[in-house]
Structure 1
């Protein structure tokens, strides 16, 4: 009887594997799922963990050890997935949940940093200023000395001129907008405008 139970337990363990999902803030979520589980099951499990209800904008994908995107999982674990935004909302104000807005915000930061966001330099400066506002709040001369924006890496590379422009916008145009209902829709509206320009931020932060 005991041997049959142990044999059954061993078979169950063979049918399970650990799966790690890298989240947008670079933290990781690890769970154990059945080998024959569908991707939708893992996605639903993750959304439950994040308390995410507005699921349509998001998805998970597998990335191999060489950081190349692939369509199929390998035959053997371990499996590492990435949780990402699939597409941005056409109407930013339609995002109802705070967690949804926060996750989209994190994706914007990633796209800007990795040079995937299509926009002119002036639009990039405005978007980076919104991100700065979300990170540190209103400009405070007592807390934010000269060059304070240089501590944040918004782009792969950027010039001092662009840094000064970001700080200028943050100081003068974005005061008192953090925490209001206007902030997140405004941030996402800037994103949509940037993508419509169809211009690319080059490695030095200047449009080309």
Structure 2
């Protein structure tokens, strides 16, 4: 009886359960949605592979899948875990997203992966998650227009195209900004879409929060701060201003205990002992999420290969043992050049 009521509550409930298959709705970086049928025993990596195959993305390890959990919209799907254990109720809704932003976009071998990463940056700028100066906004928007529309033509209505492509927040679009965009757009004549997208990312990577995942916390003085985890390490921001930066090379250990997140830094030439920095997170769940994000970023950008975290016999289990990182950046760069399609 209970199962019948669940099916009646959903118009497509019969469509989602087809034998041993489960239907997943995936939101793409351009805002479109696709549906993918996966096996009931499929893991997160199987779903990510299917999404990347549908989009023709070859460098899949830069990407991941986000889902909503207990009000938090930015929880990463565990690639090593069965989807049926991650999602308790149907429908299964996920968002395709960039998990590891490449510090050097020019080293990307896959044009489709570069396009998807540029879509992610465009979305962050349009939604206000990533900020920049007005002139940088104009430069980035001009590269988007070149990639999407080709060479400048007077017949193009820039106001209409900027609104359609969502490259600038509506509140930030002024007559002066539009004039600067048009002036810069004219200078890109002759650039192919791939060249324009690369130039877009080469300028976007200079932004302070490019590719950073932000986590709200409090410092030792109980002041609100934001911890930003990215390819280079962990940074501390207060009121949008950079206060400190801790590169991966300086870290000896990353740990957490309940709501306390701790970084152990190696001693420099002026210090006799290592430094321990602790930050307080809103909850144990938030602290574990930050710790996991830090370890996965360190593993992807610094390690030769993924390291499996094993439990030591005789000691209590502290921290998570599930890390979603299939290959590191070094492993990806060691692969031969990806085959490229030749079009007539």
* Alignment TM class, shorter chain as reference: 0.7 to 0.9
Contact 1:128 1:166 in 2 (8 A): yes
Contact 2:152 2:189 in 1 (8 A): yes
Q: 1:149 aligns with which of 141, 158, 176?
A: 158
CA RMSD of aligned residues (A): 2.8
Q: In structure 2, what is the Cα distance between the partners aligned to 1:190 and 1:164?
A: 20
Equivalent residue for 1:189? 202
Contact 2:26 2:94 in 1 (8 A): yes
Q: After TM superposition, give the deviation of residue 36 of structure 1 in Å.
A: 3.3
Aligned residues: 182
Q: After TM superposition, give the deviation of residue 31 of structure 1 in Å.
A: 1.9
1:166 aligns with 2:175: no
Residue deviations 1:57-115, cap 9 Å, x none?
A: 11111136978334674411101100011132111111112211221121122112111
Equivalent residue for 2:129? 116
Which structure carries more relative contact order (alpha carbon 8 Å, separation 6+)? 1
Contact 1:123 1:194 in 2 (8 A): no
Contact 2:65 2:76 in 1 (8 A): no
User: TM-score normalised to the size of structure 1?
Assistant: 0.75
Contact 2:20 2:39 in 1 (8 A): yes
Say which is worse superposed, 30-39 or 128-137, in terms of deviation: 30-39
SS at match of 2:51: helix
Q: 1:95 aligns with which of 108, 121, 124?
A: 108
Q: After TM superposition, give the deviation of residue 19 of structure 1 in Å.
A: 0.8
1:178 aligns with 2:183: no
Contact 1:62 1:80 in 2 (8 A): yes
Q: 1:56 aligns with which of 52, 61, 79?
A: 61
Distance 1:51-1:104 versus aligned 2 partners, 3 A rule: same
User: TM-score normalised to the size of structure 2?
Assistant: 0.48
Q: 1:34 aligns with which of 30, 36, 39?
A: 39
Rg comparison, structure with higher value: 2
Contact 2:26 2:35 in 1 (8 A): yes
Point out where structure 2 has 5 or more consecutive residues left out of the alignment: 1-16, 78-85, 211-240, 242-344
Residue deviations 1:10-55, cap 9 Å, x none?
A: xx95653211111112222212223332111111122222222101
Higher helix share: 1
Contact 1:115 1:155 in 2 (8 A): no
Q: 2:52 aligns with which of 13, 28, 47?
A: 47
Higher strand share: 2
Contact 1:19 1:30 in 2 (8 A): yes
Contact 2:25 2:93 in 1 (8 A): yes
Distance 1:67-1:30 versus aligned 2 partners, 3 A rule: farther
Point out where structure 1 has 5 or more consecutive residues left out of the alignment: 1-11, 198-207
State how 1:15-26 maps to structure 2 within 5 Å.
15-26=20-31
SS at match of 1:61: strand
